[in-house]
Copies of this chain bind each other. A is one copy, B any other.
Amino acid sequence: MKKIKRIGILTGGGDCPGLNAVIRAVVHTATHKYGIEIFGIRDGYAGLINKQVQPMDRKEVSGILPRGGTILGTSNRDNPFKYPVAVENGKKVYGDVSDRVQKTVEYNELDALITVGGDGTQAIAHQLFTRCGIPVVGVPKTIDNDLDGTDVTFGFDTALSIATLSIDKLHSTAESHHRVMVIEVMGRYAGWIALEAGLAGGGDVILIPEIPFNMNRIVQKIHDRENDGKRFSLVVVAEGAKPEGGELVVARKVQDPNDPLRLGGVSQFVGNRIEDLTGIETRFTILGHVQRGGSPTAFDRILATRFGYHAVEAVMDQKFGYLVGLRGQDIVTTPIEEAIAVPRRVQPDSQIIKTAMALGTCFGI
């Protein structure tokens, strides 16, 4: 086995609280435990393509543990296997520039890469490993918590906390005004944030992508609450929730003007329908990117730190092509390919859904 002396690290995909904690743990472990060097790669795979690689020491990671974002920058569109290489007739032409990545790795004498990112980032890492022979170790990262290969990802607890505190704030307004408040949280394909924030915030209705909803059931729930003397209701919606037979509608994207849901995403659709069908004043809030920002919770800092440490351990053990992850109380490794094969979604018959239903939560079914 080749001796490991220099490791590169990059962060890819959407911003996520805890990225800096991973970077700091990698640098500290490498420096303190192994006396080897860490090289920071700027803006995800873009830095490997464009040779933006710099040595990092402990000074650079000083004070970053409690900070959101990533000091390395990130990018969610730079795929070395499908990279814009020319413009023809006003259209981008894409090509494979993975040789540039290889050259950057060789030039900087990187003995391994730690790739911190979601399924997109890890799919590319896997290709770099299998097709180009670049030794990679993955660290899973997603706000949405929908990556298999780990029980939970860092960033999720922070997003969940922000969403829950926002629901708490809406509760007082809903109650004072006798209103229905609809809050849209992140989760395009998986409803973890909506489900758990809804449970933690006491949402009366929770709508997630995994369980297509029926407006009549939602209206029924609101009426039941009224009959019970509760003049307000709180609806938590994942951005990827969809009506039965309907399609996913995501806010904040260029929207088809003919799409009936286009105005403000699924939350506005649901809010408008509730107001129409019940006559109760309804307001909606789209929480948006505030869920991705700010200082990570203690839970996320610890998980991110553990991931960072174990990523270096996996590199030193030359366990390439693997992803670190949490199983129960322990950090384990799984082949990247296996970890990204199927997204981790909410199971409609899981314990936690049953719990929410037993308490009377309506899932629109």
Binding site for B on A (CB under 8 A): 11, 14-15, 17, 19, 25, 28-29, 32-33, 43, 58-59, 62-63, 65-70, 73-76, 151, 157, 160-166, 168-173, 175-178, 181, 196-197, 199-202, 228-230, 251-252, 255, 262-264, 283-290, 292-295, 297-299, 301-302, 305-306, 309-310, 312, 327-331, 351-352, 354-355, 358-360
Q: Which residue of B lies closest to A264 (CB)?
A: B264
The 30 sampled A-B contact pairs (Cβ below 8 Å) are A11-B176, A14-B177, A17-B172, A25-B355, A68-B169, A68-B173, A69-B171, A70-B176, A73-B176, A74-B176, A74-B177, A165-B294, A166-B290, A168-B295, A169-B290, A196-B298, A199-B301, A199-B305, A200-B301, A252-B264, A255-B263, A263-B264, A283-B288, A285-B286, A285-B287, A285-B288, A306-B352, A309-B359, A329-B351, A330-B351
A352 surroundings in chain B (CB, below 8 A): 302, 306
Q: For A165, what are the chain B residues with a Cβ–Cβ distance below 8 Å?
A: 294
- The residue that A360 contacts in the complex, of B32, B169, B298, with Cβ under 8 A, is B32
A196–B38 CA distance with the chains assembled, in angstroms: 25
Distance, CA A25 to CA B359, complexed state (A): 7
C-alpha gap A264/B252 in the complex (Å): 9
> A302's contact among B19, B70, B196, B228, by CB below 8 Å, is which?
B196
Residues on B with C-beta less than 8 A from A175 are 63, 69
Whether the pair B161, A298 counts as a contact (CB closer than 8 A) is yes
Taken together, the copies of this chain in the complex come to: 4
Q: Is the CB of A355 within 8 A of B309?
A: yes
Contact B200 A298 (CB under 8 A): yes
Residues on B with beta carbons closer than 8 Å to the beta carbon of A290: 166, 169-170, 285, 287
Across the interface, which residues of B come within 8 angstroms of A28, CB to CB?
358-360
Contacts of A176 in B (CB 8 A): 11, 15, 19, 69-70, 73-74
List the 4 shortest-distance A-B pairs measured between CB atoms, nearest first.
A169-B293, A69-B172, A68-B172, A169-B294
| A299→B157 CA distance, assembly (Å) | 8
CB pair B294 A172 closer than 8 Å: yes
State in angstroms the CA–CA spacing of A199 and B199 once bound together: 28
Name the distance in Å between A146's Cβ and chain B's nearest Cβ.
14
Tell me the complex Cα distance, A283–B291, Å. 13
CA distance A43 to B179 in the complex (A): 13
Asked if A301 meets B164 with Cβ closer than 8 Å, knowing A74-B177, A360-B28, the reply is yes
Q: Give the residues in chain B near A287, CB-CB below 8 Å.
A: 285, 290
CB-nearest residue of chain B to A159: B298
Expressed in whole angstroms, the minimum distance between the Cβ of A316 and any Cβ of chain B is: 11
Residues in B with CB closer than 8 Å to A306 are 351-352, 355
